[in-house]
Structure formats: structure tokens, C-alpha cells
A and B are shown apart, each in its own frame.
Chain A
Amino acid sequence: MKFDIYDFSVLTASIHESLGSMMGETAVMITEMVIVGVIFLTLFAVLGLALVYAERKVCAFFQQRLGPMRVGFWGTAQTVADAIKLLLKEPLMTKSADKFLFNLAPFIIIIASFMAIAAVPFALGLQALDLDIGVFYVTAVSSIGVAGILLAGWASNNKFSLIGAMRSGAQIVSYELSVGLSLLTIVVLTGSLQFSEIIESQREGWWIFRGHIPAFIAFVIFLIAGTAETNRGPFDLAEAESELTAGFHTEYSGMKFAFFFLAEFVNMFIIAAIGATMFLGGWMPLHFGELTSFNEIMDFIPPLFWFLGKTAFLIFIMMWFKWTFPRLRIDQLLTLEWKYLLPINLINILVMAFIVLMGWYF
């Protein structure tokens, strides 16, 4: 029995129709934008809560302990308690800090995250922005976050925050290259930059299996560069600066610090989502070309769960990196990128292009 994948565009079209019958053109557009904004805000909040709890539990299980257990059932309300604590804190600001830029910096980072998450495909038809330059748009927009970090470091008027922000900026700018290039490797296979088309082209099987060796190398590079982009894991010298200060967000407290914190986890989700989309098929269930009965069984699980499962798996790998490895020093970080990841990436793209020309992929 074939189970058709539910198309959310049917639902969105019907909502559009019913709104259109109630009010004029511009009013419909504005209402829709407000609805999408509210949904994404809720998504942010829920993601933040869930990811922080997951991080604490996963970290605890790696370390043979239990993690939060008291607040709520098995500690599920712990993040809520943390959020309330952060809300109640006094929002400090040093007198000599640049007021406007100081307050603006967290918002820039959140805006960058919002713009990136708008293009992520959650299920068939469940995508806020389906641009035909999807991949290009996401890489471009995630660069806006760097401006927020540099502003935060500069506006704090604190030389250690500035050093931390500069380091962080250099790190993010370098690793964006690697992220972009590894995504390009898959674009060479699909021939299109649009997310929905990329996922459609994985109906016969995910690219990581079909693109064999170059795709796998690109996946590994994407994971490494992705963790470096979000200042996480073994690349968190800028903020886990237990040597001197807490990096660029030293001077922030209360809700603004919560924004930085939240943005880090949401960025991790976005990197995992993009990775899942490009390499692991997004919301496409696991299909193996010829085995139709197997494919039909896989289709029973709704695509939304496939997407969330794959993203969770990639997030788990990123957490695994963080809790196992010591930190890299800043010069070792940059050496890794410019001397190792970038040459390997470029050669990989050449190899992939050659393979596509010869047709040596599944």
C-alpha cells in the first residue's frame, strides 16, 4: 500500500484562500507574515528549551552521571527555571560602553538566525522561503552574525572582549569558506541551488550514499566547519576563555546574554538542519533506488519526524565532539582551516565534478 507523502502546500494554500476571502491583498500578506513570525518565535523558544536540556542530559550521560533530575519530571523544567533566572537578572551596562551598539548587537545575531532558519525545509511544502538560490542565500545570511559578534566586542569597551570578538570573527569568517565549499560539492551533484529540488533529487537515495567518497569527505568537512562556525565544541576558544574572560559576551547579563546563548543553540540547529538537508535527504525518508517495498515501509513515518531525527543525530554528533576533545588554540584553529580543510575541500570539488562528468555515481 503506497502512502503518499503529505503535501503541506495544500494546507497553506487553503489558509491563503480563506484569508483572501476575508480581507484585501495587502492585509492578507501582512497577516501571513505575522503568523509566520509568531510560529518561528515559538519555534525558537521551544528549540532553545529543548536543546539546552538535551545538551545537559547528553553531557551528563557521557560523564557517567545523571544530569538535571529534580526540577520537573527527570529535570525537564530545568531550562524554564534557568530562563526565569536570566529574566530576573539586572541588565548591566558599563558607563563607557557605546549604548546603541551595545544594545543592538544581540539583536543582529538573532536576526541572522531568523533569516537562516526561514529557508530550512521542515517537510514537503513546510518551508517559509523557497528561493531558487536557497543554498547561496543561507550561506550569505549566516555571515551577518559575524557583524553582531564584532559589534558586541567593540561596544563593550573592554579590551578582552575585543580580543575575544576579533578571534571569533576571524574564526567564523575562515570557516564559512569551508562550509560553503562543502555545500557546493552537493550542488555539483544536484545541479540546482533550490532546497526543495535538492531534496526531490534524493528520492532515490540520500546523497551521502550515492555520492560515495567525495560526498562523505564533504560531509566530514561540513561537520567540522559547522561546529567551528557556531563557536562550539573544540573550537570554543573565544567564549570558553577560562584563561581570561568569557570572550565577547563578558559584559552582557540577563536577557541579552540569554540572546547570545540562545543564538548559539539555534545556530547549531540550523547547521545540523542544513547538513541533514544536503547530505542526508532532509525530510525524504530512507529510500534505496530499486527496493520499492522497503521504500513503501519507510514512507509510513511522517517526513517531519525524519527531518527532526536526522537533525537530532547531527546535533548529537556535534555534542559528542564537544565533550570529548580538548580545545584548539587560535593559531592551530586557523592552521587547520587554511592549510588542511581548504585544500582538501578544493580537491574534493574537482574530484566530484569529474565524477559527475563521467557519471560514476549512483
Chain B
Amino acid sequence: MSVKELHKATESQEYFVNMGPQHPSTHGVLRLLLTLDGETVTKVEPHLGYIHRSIEKMCEKDSYQQIVHLTDRMDYLSCHMNNEAVCLAVERGLEIEVSDRVKVIRTIMSELTRLSSHQLWWGVMGMDLGAITSFLYGFRDREMITDIFEETCGARLTMNYNIPGGVMFDIPANFQTKVKEFITHFRQKLPEYDQLMTNNIIFRNRTEGIGVLTKEDAISYGVTGPSGRASGWSNDIRKSHPYSAYDRVDFKEIVYTEGDSFARYKARIQEMWESMNIIEQLIDNIPEGNYQEKTRAVIKLPKMEIYQSVETARGELGVYINSDGKKNPYRVKFRSPGFSNLNALNTMAKGGKIADLVTIMSTIDLVIPDIDR
């Protein structure tokens, strides 16, 4: 802090509060240094690094098949999409073309992951605002998806299902039945979410007009994902640079213009409906083919730089691989969506109350291991 700030702090009525690393509503270990003036927040300063595990450094000693399992643990709620990003980058470097079956399977799994991430987000948002019941309802619906994952990949949270060249196992026999069952079940439950929270007058009063992020600010901070789309910036990577099977499905890009917390909330709920539409279009005709392309046992990329981005549940995840011809990459860098989204917190929360800060943090949907890696 500069001398001027120190002066201002000691003379004015402002005081500092630590919303410390251990806190029920910061979704992970995040330390926020708040400067408060009475009840109003004047500055929010996030301090990161409490869960830094040097994933990017560990990637430098692993082979290309092994770096995939580390990305599971970054943004653990969009596991498949993280794995897909690395696999797509490596496949682009090796210039292999995966079969249609692999593309469709990857898209279905990504959309299921997006659904489960949004369900958890909805539950936690209700819990932060005080309606603890919504937490349990979100997890109950999410349970069906994790059961599907357990049957297909063997694990419920850290899946490690994509490998460079395809997927690890073929889908089991009852995959299609189970996914269709889930879609039917969830189509009935999602209006209940609306009944319980979206239309609730208390909830509306707490989110409408809170934490407005203008479109210019969103573009300048690089806020991607539903948080940016709620401010009017259409940045869906599935539309602008389609990958896997996204160019053959028909879905809307959800953009709202108000930019407040309620718009971010609505954007995610609508994304859930769109994800179900995408899955329904793909689930009935999964093309036949290989589920795994043959690659060498030891993958060596030629000397090149690759950047591949995917649309995770939080925003754009970018993977940058710099290889110099050896069997380990020279440098791997992840552009995490949470890092850029968190930067906009100060702009959004300034001038509001502490209770509004909690609302804003839950609408931008932070997952701290994604930010710290």
C-alpha cells in the first residue's frame, strides 16, 4: 500500500476485513481483503495461491498421455472439458483425425459435465443466499449424471477418460438408455428450480441490479463464459471456433444485456436447457467407428506451439503447449477462465454491501483450484 493509501486508511472511517482463506462462502481457499466503509465495500483485493500445486511444472516432466490426468484436478467440475482441451491440442500437433464416434462421445460427455457443473452451481448459489434446501436438490439431480460417469469411466469426479487419439473405453451398452432416462427426469425437475428460486420475490430482490458488469468492462477484463455472455458479449467458443461435434448440432447462444447478477443466473439456467437439447440431438445416432486411434506408445510432438481453447462451464479454457521435439513438453500453460473472471470482482462489488458481495461471488461461479492450478 502506498503512503497515500495508508494515510487515507488511518484518517477515514475505512477498515479492513479478511474474508479469510477458510470461509463458508468462497467456494474454495480464497482470501479476500475487503476495505469497508461502514457497511459499504470500497475495495476488494483477492489474494490467491493457497491451493497452488504447480500443475504446469509437473506437466513438464510427464509424457503427453500423462498430462491429461493432471487437468482433471484443475477445474474439477468441468473435468471432461479440461481433458478434451489437452487431447485436442495434442491431436492437432500430431495431425491425426479422430473418428466421428469419438467426437460425438466427447461432445455428449462434455455437455453432461456442463450440466452437472451448473447443477452444483445452482445448489451452492441457493445455499449462499440462505435457501439451504436447494443445495440438496442440486446434488440429487447431479447424482444421476455421476452414476452415468461411474459406469462409463469408472470414476465420479476425476474422470481421465479422454486420451490423445480417442477415449479410454468404449461406451457401455446401457449408456444411451441411461442418458435418455436422465434427460426425461431432468426436464421435469428444471421447472422446479424456477419455481423454488428464480421466481421467488426475495431472490429477485437480492439479485436484480446487483453487481452490474458493463460490456466494455467484460471485454477488457476478459470475462468469458456465462458471466460475460450475460453482459452482452457473445463469446461462445462452441459457436465461433467449433470443435468436436459442435458444428453439426443446432443450439442457441445465450446472451443477455443487463449484466447484473440475475442475468448471469438466467444465462446459466438457459444453458442447462440448451445442453439438454444438444444431448438429445446426438444421443440417438452415435456413429460407429473406432473409439481410439492408434498412436505410438511414446508420443513426440514436432517443434511447435499449439493453442487450443474449449468452452468449459466457467468460460474459455486455453491450453498452450510449447514442445521442442522431445517426449515431454517444454512448457504447458493453461489460460484459466476463473482467473480473469475473478479480476472483475472489484468492479462489480464496489459500492455494494457485504451481502451483495456474496451474491456476486456465487454468480460468477468461481472454482478456486482452477484459478491457482
Contact = CB atoms under 8 A, between A and B. Distances in A.
Do A and B come into direct contact in the complex, CB within 8 Å? yes
Contact of A242 (B25, B200, B202): B25
B36 to A, nearest CB: 10
Contact of A243 (B133, B140, B355): B355
Contacts of A236: 130
B133 to A, nearest CB: 5
Interface in A309-360: 323-332
Contact of B136 (A63, A326, A327): A63
A318 to B, nearest CB: 15
Contacts of B15: 159
21 contacts: A59-B132, A63-B136, A64-B136, A64-B140, A237-B355, A240-B130, A243-B357, A244-B354, A323-B131, A323-B132, A323-B133, A325-B131, A326-B200, A326-B202, A327-B129, A327-B202, A327-B206, A328-B205, A329-B205, A329-B206, A329-B356
A84 B15 CA distance: 39
A121 B259 CA distance: 55
Measured as residues with beta carbon below 8 angstroms from the partner, the interface class of chain B is 20 to 34
A65 interface: yes
A159 B14 CA distance: 13
A329 B354 CA distance: 10
A261 interface: no
A59 B353 CA distance: 30
Given A64-B140, A65-B136, A327-B206, 4 more contacts: A323-B131, A325-B202, A328-B206, A331-B353
Contacts of B24: 242
A62 B133 contact: yes
A234 interface: yes
Interface string B346-357: 000000011111
A243 B206 contact: no
B61 to A, nearest CB: 41
B126 interface: yes
Contact of B130 (A59, A234, A332): A234
Contact of B358 (A65, A243, A324, A325): A243
Contacts of A243: 19, 25, 354-355, 357-358
Contacts of A63: 132-133, 136-137
A63 B39 CA distance: 34
Interface residues of A, number: 24
**Chief secondary structure at chain A's binding surface:** loop
A27 B268 CA distance: 72
B129 to A, nearest CB: 4
Given A62-B133, A325-B131, A326-B203, A244 B197 contact: no
Contacts of B129: 326-327
A160 B238 CA distance: 46
Contacts of A62: 133
Interface in B183-234: 196-197, 200, 202-203, 205-206
Interface in B127-182: 128-133, 136-137, 140
Nearest to A327: B130
A220 B137 CA distance: 28
Per CB-CB distance, the 10 closest pairs between chain A and chain B, nearest first, are: A327-B130, A326-B129, A63-B136, A326-B130, A326-B131, A242-B24, A329-B355, A323-B133, A243-B354, A243-B358
B353 A329 contact: yes
Contacts of A59: 132
Contact of B133 (A324, A328, A329): A324
B17 interface: yes
Contacts of A159: 15
A94 to B, nearest CB: 18
